[in-house]
Amino acid sequence: MTLGMASFACEDALLKFLSQSIPTGELLLVLGFAGMILFGAWVARSSEGLRLRDLLHRGVMLRNFCEAVCSVSFVTALAIGDLSTASAILQALPLLMTLGAALFLGEPVGWRRWLSIMLGFAGVLMIVRPGTDAFQPGSILALIAVLALAVRDLVTRRLPASIGSGTLTASAFGAIGIAGLVLLILDAQRLVAPRPVEGVMMAASLCFGLAGYITMVIATRIGEIGAIAPFRYSRLVFAIILGVVIFAERPDLWTLAGAGLIASAGGYAMWREARLRRRRKSDPAGSLIRPG
């Protein structure tokens, strides 16, 4: 899980660096369609296979739309704001997932996790600080990205089990490529021929993204969820280090404190949910389980 989060942080850093000379739409167009082709070819050769008719499912289309919104928002946030700030806001995803599951899926959430949600949102406000000199417009885009991710993951929970995760991932890459094309057209962005070094960096960014996804899947399959889930927040540590070393970012005390609060609250929410899941398995009747 830690290796996967380091890979995602490196992907974000490369995207931020590339966005200084290559239009955001072009980045999404190239990386999205390249990822779709590479990952789709791998899925097609696997036992799962590609079932293109699954892409017409309304839930899959909504999921891909959310993926497109997230990619445009987050990469733009990286381009105009700090890597550490955008990454810190992104860590609120588990809290939004818990909130969404309670409000829209009817899952029981006790006072402990409600408290962690409120503390996590307080951490987000500490980072964003609307109405102050520290406010960054990129923070709003990062918030839009994490909201889109939360809707995407909630929709994923409702998809039929017959729709394979490989097909979903390949189609998500395709949605990112389409989003890049739309952004190029709407924003009248001109295509830029990447220099050789930029081409290498784009390929490296794609490799880091695929490596992050694969290692995260492996981690969730071989490890206990409650034990490995908090290590998702190592991505924030790597992002802060890369932001400081590569982009000379200097997160202030409020940003660091807010990031720590989000990580603590989100880590607790994930640990608590995993613990309750284990207890439900040991007590199928649910007579001893209280939401926490």
Q: How do residues 11-22 score in pLDDT, each as one tens digit?
A: 999 999 999 999
The answer as to whether 141 is a domain residue is yes
Q: What integer is the mean pLDDT of 111-137?
A: 86
When mean pLDDT is compared across 38-42, 94-98, 174-178, 274-278, the lowest value belongs to: 274-278
What pLDDT does residue 287 have? Answer: 42
pLDDT band at 53 (very low <50, low <70, confident <90, very high): confident
In the prediction, which pLDDT does 33 show? 94
pLDDT digits (tens, 9 = 90+) for 142-160: 999 999 999 998 898 888 8
Q: Check residue 283 and give its pLDDT.
A: 57
Residue 61 placed within a domain: yes
**C-alpha to C-alpha distance for 25 and 76, rounded to whole angstroms:** 9
Confidence of residue 137 (pLDDT cuts 50, 70, 90): confident
Q: State if pTM tops 0.95.
A: no
**Residue 79: inside a domain, yes or no?**
yes
Helix spans in the chain (H) = 2-18, 24-45, 58-80, 83-90, 93-104, 111-128, 137-157, 165-186, 196-222, 225-228, 234-247, 253-282
The per-residue pLDDT for 288 is: 42
239-263: pLDDT as tens digits: 999 999 999 999 999 999 999 999 8
**151: in domain:** yes
- In-domain check, residue 290: no
The answer to whether position 287 is within a domain reads no
% pLDDT > 90, the chain = 48
Residue 237, C-beta contacts closer than 8 angstroms, at least 6 positions apart:
none
Q: Looking at residue 144, what is its pLDDT?
A: 95
Residues 6 or more apart whose CB falls under 8 angstroms from that of 228 comprise 1, 219, 220
Instruction: Provide the residue range defining the domain that includes 131.
Output: 2-278
> 17-31, 157-171, 207-221: which has the highest mean pLDDT?
17-31
Indicate the average pLDDT of the chain: 87
**What's the CA gap between 205 and 209, in Å, rounded?**
6
Cα–Cα distance between 171 and 105 in angstroms, integer? 25
What is the predicted pLDDT for the residue at 290? 44
Quote the CA–CA distance of 191 and 195 in Å, as a whole number. 13
- The pLDDT value given to residue 226: 64
Contacts of 150 (CB under 8 A, 6+ apart): 93, 96, 97, 99, 100
Which amino acid type is present at position 150? A
In this structure, is residue 289 part of a structural domain?
no
In a domain, 291, yes or no: no
Q: 15 or 101: which carries more pLDDT confidence?
A: 15
User: Which among 254, 283, 208 is positioned nearest to 18, based on CA atoms?
Assistant: 208
Distance CA(136)–CA(143), nearest Å, equals: 12
User: How much is the pLDDT for 221?
Assistant: 73
pLDDT category, 162, cuts 50, 70, 90?
confident
Whether the predicted pLDDT of 289 surpasses 60: no
pLDDT digits (tens, 9 = 90+) for 58-86: 999 999 999 999 999 999 999 999 999 99
Q: Would the pLDDT of 230 be above 80?
A: no
Residue 25 has which token pair? Answer: 């739409």
Q: What is the pLDDT of residues 168-195, one digit of tens each?
A: 888 999 999 999 999 999 888 788 889 9
In this structure, the number of other CB atoms found within 10 A of the CB of residue 275 comes to 13
Number of domains in the chain: 1
pLDDT band with cut points at 50, 70 and 90 for residue 292: low
Using the CB atoms, write b or e for 96-126: b if 16+ within 10 Å: bbbbbbbeeeeeebeeebbebbebbbebbeb
Of the spans 94-108, 142-156, 216-230, which averages the highest pLDDT? Answer: 142-156
